[in-house]
Amino acid sequence: MSRGYNLLFVLVTFLVLVAAVTAQGNRGSNNGGGRRPRFGFYGNRCRNVESIVKSVVESHVRSIPANAPGILRMHFHDCFVRGCDGSVLLAGNTSERTAVPNRSLRGFEVIEEAKTRLEKACPRTVSCADILTLAARDAVVLTGGQRWEVPLGRLDGRISQASDVNLPGPSDSVAKQKQDFAAKTLNTLDLVTLVGGHTIGTAGCGLVRGRFFNFNGTGQPDPSIDPSFVPLIQAQCPQNGGTRVELDEGSVGRFDTSFLRKVTSSRVVLQSDLVLWRDPETRVIIERLLGLRRPSLRFGAEFGKSMIKMSLIEVKTGLADGEIRRVCSAIN
């Protein structure tokens, strides 16, 4: 009995040790292969991660309101190129930041400041990709949008190439937009809802001037635009001047459904936005988001759902293709 008991004890002890090592390996894999984004990911390892990011974003948005749409746009541009891995934050002569669509991005200093503060509070714990994702949510909330919970646990990518940047364009057809979003596992509801984020922010005059002065080489404005809207934009973006124009004229600083209502009346500056009202499928979604058709959809809630889906595009979960950067503008 004594000998059998001892053998049993040794076996049990061995199995316990194996289980302990395996558990430790799994915990370690939260910084590697076993890491998966989830709510409450950081737990006690960085309990104040959300409050720190929010504090930094709030300070910068109060100082420069344009940082709110800037951060939201940056998150979109990050996720649509190599996934939500913070690759858009990397600096370099040929990095994503140098691609034409990204040269007007703003808010890099906001993410870097949040990273600096988090490195002091929780060294080598929170990824830049997670910081950008949280900052985008906070930017929406600070402009009046509805809050949503953000799953965390992304790793930062090590690759950032301007040649990889191929984003949806301001003149894209609905079919092209649907195709681009579907390629990122986003459906048509996500497409329309996320485009609704144009309720804050501006567009460069170079992107819109042609529609208001010489549409398709006709020498005339796009006939589908509300005629009373044309002179307003022509004044802000004259043929030989102007810089930027509001995407949601008169309500650019407020996250609401005002932009979608302007889509229904053809008072938007981007052709890719206007065409959403002509397509039967996207038109129905706009009507539901505005409460014009049943069953209605709540824009704030749907925007949060779509942002969560977008934030999980091609996330990095293993050390083979990801890391926790020390600074957001450079790989370790």
Query: Which residues are catalytically annotated?
Result: 77
Residue from 185, 194, 157, 187 nearest 315 by CA: 157
Quote the CA–CA distance of 298 and 277 in Å, as a whole number. 18
116 a known binding residue?
no
Q: Which residues touch 278 (CB under 8 Å, ≥6 apart)? A: 174, 224
164 a known binding residue?
no
Q: Which residues pair with 203 in a beta bridge?
A: 245
Quote the CA–CA distance of 117 and 144 in Å, as a whole number. 26
248 a known binding residue?
yes
- For 280, what's the count of Cα atoms within 13 Å in the CB-facing half-sphere? 0
60 a known binding residue?
no
Residue from 152, 127, 154 nearest 326 by CA: 127
256 a known binding residue?
yes
Rounded alpha-carbon distances, angstroms, from residue 33 to 191, 291, 314, 320, 323: 31, 44, 14, 8, 11
Write out the H or E segment, with its range, that includes residue 202.
Answer: strand 202-204
Q: Which residues touch 243 (CB under 8 Å, ≥6 apart)? A: 204, 205
Three-state DSSP at 156 gives: strand
Residue 127 phi, psi dihedral angles, 5° rounding: -80, 155
| CB < 8 Å & 24+ apart, contacts of 213-219 | 213/239
Q: Which residues pair with 157 in a beta bridge?
A: 322
96 a known binding residue?
yes
188 a known binding residue?
no
195 a known binding residue?
no
75 a known binding residue?
no
- What are the binding residues for substrate? 168
- What are the binding residues for heme b? 198
- What are the binding residues? 78, 81, 83, 85, 87, 96, 168, 198-199, 248, 256
- What are the binding residues for Ca(2+)? 78, 81, 83, 85, 87, 96, 199, 248, 256
